[in-house]
Chains A and B, each alone.
Chain A
Amino acid sequence: MSLLLIWRQLKRNRMAMLGLLIVLIFTLAAIFAHWIAPDDPIAMNLRQSVEGPSAENLLGRDELGRDILSRLIYGARISLQLGLIAVGIGIAIGVPLGALSGYFGGAVDMIIQRMIDVMLAFPAMLLAIVLVSILGRSLNNAMIAIGIVSIPVYARLVRASTLTIKEMEYVQAAKALGQTDLGIIIHQILPNLLSPIIVQSTLQVASAILWAAGLGFLGLGAQAPDPEWGAMLSSGRDFIRHAPHVVIFPGLTIMATVLGLNLLGDGLRDALDPRMKL
């Protein structure tokens, strides 16, 4: 389906457009953080610790007197980057695994599916925690862990679609024309999987951002002084009695981003194929 057609479909869906708008705002904030942020995100100012919102600091200051709005803007950079790269890792490993599994079947399928079964024997968040505890606590390792956790989603999705597509006549035709197996997977099968992968990835980035915030909150992801949203909630926790703004705004930001991605993902699904159910 052409891009123009998808756009026309998407434009009619008001909720999806709202989602797109939210995602665009956060993307722009992430890219231009340096110019938009009113203050340095890690510059401390202890005399103004946990100051409430004011005209000068719209969202107030955190426990170390840092400007919360600036930290949230720079945090968008961390969270979006992490979400995109983690999902990229999931796609880079999960898609080939799923395609091989579905295309060749037999022993290849058996081995790959049992590997996936083992990964699914862990609840996603727990698997991410286990991986981080092995790799060490850091933002990069959280990203790798979340990437690995995303693999089964893509492997299962691509396998199921490959099973259907490989029986299509044009695949048989390509085979008859002497195209190699690898050529068929790359040129005939994968292009047809683009839409479901895009839809899934939009929703998957949302999950990745939630998981990363969770790891950050547990102290297993981003480390101080990184302005990561989950870590901000964790360090602001002790101040909720007297300065609730320290935890209210980072949480609202996470929710807005995730909501935007979910709305956009649902809209894309309807636009690309109304019958498609993930």
Chain B
Amino acid sequence: MSTYITKRLLMIIPVLFTVVFLVFFMVRLIPGDTAEVIAGEQASAQEIENIRKQLKLDQPIHVQFGHYMSGLARGDLGRSARSKRPVMEELMARLPNTVYLMLAAIFIAVVVGVATGTISGVKPYSIFDTLSMFVALFGISMPVFWLGLMLIIYFSVNLGWLPSGGSGTWRHMILPAVALATVPMATISRMTRSSVLDVMRQDYIRTARAKGLTEMSVVWRHALKNALIPVLTVIGLQMGTLLGGAVLTEKVFSWNGLGRLMVDSIVARDYPVVQGAVLLIATSFVFINLIVDILYGYLDSRIRYD
């Protein structure tokens, strides 16, 4: 196991390096003069020149890269073109909000998805099963930002129960978390159903029943434990959907997170912030995938890594 973790850690080094490299080139690939683009249309020649100097765009590309890498090593990602504050500070101010939102969404998706999927799997073709599969089908076909808008119309505008946007209290979190949870919830529910259905046909379930265990304890202690391994795979695969969805959800609910910061910065052409946000999100994604992979190994001893 520890050799596997080491190997897996070594494998992400080239990937991370390429991500860092690509993000560096990202700003340099913008068509036209980068400094002019960042300065905006009304900028004077002097302002453009200042930006060029500040971003070291007047230096040879390898010098620029060296500067970028040494900054990165010190946690220095440059300064925001809009707020003039260090990019790192801006990112760290928003990061917790995105993490909370995602954790809440994962929690809802797993609890509801596994529960409905299990009931469906134990009693396939029942009314509950048909209904929940129908809901899941709509869930994966719905744009997450539209669901967000519908939740706002119903729960904020019509009923006035919850705030329509902003961040701060737990009440602000409910609607965005539910919206973000929907797609993973639907996928987890479908996967749990087919996995439970499969496990319920196994011999050891028949044995457990023959021992005289209650149906409840057969499902809880024997079926679910084995059925959840493929479900975990799906949860891992959903992390990308969740990160992408978070960007849209944050926009809908004016949630003060990383995704919204990134999109607003793209529109405002604040490239230092865009670079920092992309770097942070992509790096987190690589590590999340690593952790998910390692977790499989602990949960399923049949998985062998050679």
Contacts and interface: CB of A to CB of B under 8 A. Distances in A.
Answer yes or no: are A and B bound together in one complex.
yes
Interface of A: 114, 117-118, 121-126, 129-130, 132-137, 206, 210, 213-214, 217-220, 230, 233, 237, 240-241, 244, 247-248, 250-251, 254-255, 258-259, 262-263
B262 interface: yes
Given A125-B248, A129-B247, A218-B247, A240 B26 contact: no
Given A118-B19, A121-B282, A134 B157 contact: no
Interface in B230-270: 239-241, 243-245, 247-248, 251-252, 262-263, 266-267
B26 A125 contact: no
A126 B19 contact: no
9 A-B pairs with least C-beta separation = A125-B244, A251-B146, A123-B240, A259-B141, A258-B141, A123-B243, A133-B266, A118-B18, A123-B244
B15 A240 contact: no
Given A121-B15, A126-B282, A214-B248, A247 B149 contact: yes
Contacts of B245: 125
B146 A233 contact: yes
Given A213-B143, A247-B149, A263-B137, 15 more contacts: A118-B15, A121-B282, A124-B241, A125-B243, A133-B266, A217-B145, A218-B248, A218-B251, A237-B149, A248-B153, A251-B147, A251-B149, A258-B141, A259-B138, A259-B141
Given A129-B247, A219-B267, A233-B146, A123 B281 contact: yes
Contact of A251 (B150, B157, B263, B278): B150
Interface residues of B, number: 45
Given A117-B15, A122-B285, A134-B30, A255 B143 contact: yes
B149 A255 contact: no
A263 B141 CA distance: 10
Please classify the interface of chain B as helix (H, G, I), strand (E, B), loop, or mixed, using the class held by over half of its residues.
helix
A60 B282 CA distance: 42
Interface string B21-59: 010001001110000000000000000000000000000
6 contacts: A121-B16, A123-B241, A218-B263, A254-B143, A254-B146, A259-B137
A162 to B, nearest CB: 23
B282 A122 contact: yes
Contacts of B278: 126, 130
Interface in B260-306: 262-263, 266-267, 274, 278, 281-282, 285-286
Contacts of B157: 240-241, 244
